[in-house]
Amino acid sequence: MRVGVVVFPGSNCDRDCAHVLSLVGATPEFVWHRDTDLSHLGAVVLPGGFSYGDYLRCGAVAKISPVMSAVREFAAAGRPVIGICNGFQILVESELLPGALMRNESLSFQCKDVDLRVESTATAFTAGFEPGTELRLPIANAEGNYTIDERGLAELEEHGQVVLRYQNNPNGSVGDIAGISNRQGNVVGMMPHPERASESRLGNAVGRTFFESVLNFVS
Amino acid sequence: MDLREAAHEHGLTDQEYDHAVAILGREPTWTELGVLSVMWSEHCSYKSSRVHLKKFPTTGPQVVLGPGENAGAVDIGDGLAAVFKMESHNHPSFIEPYQGAATGVGGILRDVFTMGARPIASLNSLRFGAIDHPKTPHLFHGVVAGIAGYGNCVGVPTVGGEIYFDPCYNGNILVNVFTVGIARKDSIFLGVAAGVGTPVFYVGAGTGRDGIHGATMASEQFEEGSEEKRPTVQVGDPFREKLLIEACLELMQTGAIIGIQDMGAAGLTSSSVEMADRGKTGIRMDIDLVPKREEGMSAYEVLLSESQERMLIVIAEGQEDKVAQVFDKWELEWGRVGEVTDTRNFEIWQHGELVCNLPVSLLTSEAPVYDRPQARPARLRDEAATWPDLGPLDEALVRLLGSPNIGSRRLVYEQFDHQVGLGTVVLPGAGDAAVLRIPGEKRAIAIAVDCNSRFVYLDPRRGAQLAVAEVTRNISCTGAAAAGHHRLFEFR
């Protein structure tokens, strides 16, 4: 299966995501930010990094890029899209997912492992987990503090859209939210980096399941 | 002001000025004076340290490239080389800690990727004043945030380092940054201007008025009021650096590049002069063709600007289109600014006038070299130090454990993205050295930086030996030396 990895100017986890996609048997394909044809792809990854420098609000410039119009159509057709870290920020800025990501409570960039719980397996990227699975993944961000108004939070909970929750909230996110999905479960956004935990050589391979799940979902 | 007086203000001595006039056979122009002063500054010419630096052992079977290029390279087997360099950014960081440290990272990254090596990791070695000195928190947090802000954005992991606090650094902090990259041994790019009539391209960010005379500043002693030098500190743009890395590595694949060099200290001047010097050629450039971000800049300002994220590239004739293709794609500025000549001169034009015409050799091999007087410092002539009274040893142990010099560095390394690139096998805090796997290979390299500065203060020779020994032990602890096919290297 061909999986698109979008490359915005400033993306820096694009090659990492492509590497892991190859490991799980997918064929990664880089999609330049000016490309608009995604029809041949089975899934799309919005990788981490600093799209367009993120000098404005994170993801605020990426949302008006040509590729994001195509990603909107791709997602609307029910096809799987995952945003990791900066990709998650881009998904909320693009309103493909609700809420917003603010500066961490510590006001610092944080690169460390966090303990998480899989809250929803009804998504294209978490179907391979057992519900309630506890896992450890790295985070690396300065704006990972997820926020949403009370009604929005209630809706997320009601529709099972909270995908990942921190066990020890590192950044002030409401509801300890680390990742969410849209109602259909084909669009997922998460701050932790599963691609950094997909090889035993690096000490942790639990992140592979996110990528394997979407391959099974599509086939 | 007469030129001699101006020369003084530019940091040149009477002797140096006379030396220049004697070789030129005339007085320099204003622009030439600026060029001379930066190229002869300690920062660019190493005029006082060169005689000592020559004593380093720089050859060996694994050395692919010793000193003289933008970075060194050692053979790591299977046709690959580790390309690495360490550089200080002390003065800028003391004046403006965030930007000073950030642009230090930017500069060292450029020195490595200009050789054709994709950077895979960075380290840093930091010295701050006493932890309770009023300036220390500002400097410490600014430097750490600057390294994080730049390194995290460009996507090169910062995987280790060391930090010490001591009152001797209250007025002069040390900020050293190190980057290593991996290149194919047979496709290392050099900073050389070869051929005659071959086009010279400027790529990256436009030139502004920032950092003019940064190199001269870095060579000065700090005194009261040095914070007022803020305008000579450059401002970094890590986003543009990331684009520059990708664009340069992409252009390198096309075979269009003859030589390439980062515009570091003394910017356009030192990069072009050094490239011509290595190529035994001359270089002619037109200031009107240089991409600028401010109006009405003089040749003097353009030549001495230290605006960041800029490279100079000599392109093979007939391949000029490739620069446009790659740099337009990455939305970076570029301009064909001149060509290589056979005159052995550094020739600069503006508005149709020749504003600078200096022999390249005057700025390089004929720059002054000094063997400064040496004397054993008085402190080392003192009688042997006596043990201080430590008091009860249990209390001394608690004081020791409370020392900021041996505390956990988690506060710092958690602010650095140390995992991007999927190469970091041994993470910060987990070992004495970081271990990085080589992309696409089943092998790894170990990197570390370490120095006990107090030992060096007390006995420079022994202290420096111990620093080499310590960092070597750091490397060995990871198993790098024992594994045989892993290649050990150490620095500093």
**ipTM confidence:** 0.96
CA–CA min distance A218, chain B (Å): 26
Q: According to the model, what pLDDT value does residue B482 have?
A: 33
Do residue A16 and residue B421 have CB atoms under 8 angstroms apart? yes
For residue B143, give the H/E element and its range. helix B136-154
- Overall size of chain A counted in residues: 219
Q: Which positions of chain B have pLDDT values less than 70? A: 1, 213-232, 382-385, 481-492
Q: According to the model, what pLDDT value does residue B439 have?
A: 86
Q: What angle do CA A91, A205, A215 make, to 5 degrees?
A: 55
* CA–CA gap between residue B407 and residue B20 (Å, rounded): 52
Q: According to the model, what pLDDT value does residue B382 have?
A: 67
- Which residues in chain B are contacts of A16 at CB distance < 8 A? 420-422
Q: According to the model, what pLDDT value does residue B45 have?
A: 85
Q: According to the model, what pLDDT value does residue A214 have?
A: 97
Lay out the sheet containing B63-65: strands in order across.
B63-65, B72-77, B80-88, B174-184, B118-128, B158-165
Q: Does B224 touch chain A (CB under 8 A)?
A: no
Q: What angle do CA B344, B346, B350 make, to 5 degrees?
A: 140
User: pLDDT at residue A147 above 70?
Assistant: yes
C-alpha distances in Å from residue A74, one per residue of A31, A70, B160: 13, 6, 41
Do residue A16 and residue B422 have CB atoms under 8 angstroms apart? yes
* CA–CA gap between residue B233 and residue B422 (Å, rounded): 33
The model's pLDDT over A114-130, given as tens digits with 9 standing for 90+, comes to: 999 999 999 999 999 99
Catalytic hit among A17, A93, A193, A212: A193
Integer distance in angstroms from the first to the last C-alpha of chain B? 44
Q: According to the model, what pLDDT value does residue B1 have?
A: 62
Q: What angle do CA B118, B123, B129 make, to 5 degrees?
A: 150
Q: In B, residues 82-141, which contact A (CB 8 Å cutoff)?
A: none
* Cα-Cα-Cα-Cα dihedral sign, residues B47, B52, B55, B59: negative
Strand segments (E) across A2-103: 2-7, 27-32, 43-46, 81-84, 100-102
Q: Which two tokens stand for residue A133?
A: 């699975």
Q: According to the model, what pLDDT value does residue B227 have?
A: 46
For residue A10, give the nearest of B242, B415, B420 by CB distance.
Answer: B242
Please list the residues that pair with A204 across neighbouring strands.
A199
* CA–CA gap between residue A202 and residue A199 (Å, rounded): 5
Do residue A53 and residue B331 have CB atoms under 8 angstroms apart? no
User: pLDDT at residue A201 above 80?
Assistant: yes
Q: Does B190 touch chain A (CB under 8 A)?
A: no
Write the CB contacts of A55 (distance below 8 Å, at least 6 apart in sequence).
B239
Integer distance in angstroms from the first to the last C-alpha of chain A? 8
The model's pLDDT over B38-91, given as tens digits with 9 standing for 90+, comes to: 999 888 888 999 999 899 888 889 899 998 889 999 999 999 999 999 999 999
Is B138 considered catalytic here?
A: no
C-alpha distances in Å from residue A14, one per residue of A8, A21, B223, B376: 9, 11, 47, 55
Q: According to the model, what pLDDT value does residue B378 have?
A: 82
Q: According to the model, what pLDDT value does residue B389 have?
A: 86
The model's pLDDT over A149-188, given as tens digits with 9 standing for 90+, comes to: 999 999 999 999 999 999 999 999 999 999 999 999 999 9
Is B43 considered catalytic here?
A: yes
Which among B92, B73, B325, B263 is positioned nearest to B181, based on CA atoms?
Answer: B73
CB-based contact B65:B390 (threshold 8 Å): no
Amino acid at B262: D
| Average of per-residue pLDDT across A133-140 | 98
Q: According to the model, what pLDDT value does residue B486 have?
A: 30
CA–CA min distance A159, chain B (Å): 34
Which among B191, B205, B156 is positioned nearest to B283, based on CA atoms?
Answer: B191
Cut 0.80: pTM above it: yes
Three-class DSSP category at A164: strand
CB-based contact B478:B426 (threshold 8 Å): yes
- Which residues in chain A are contacts of B331 at CB distance < 8 A? 9
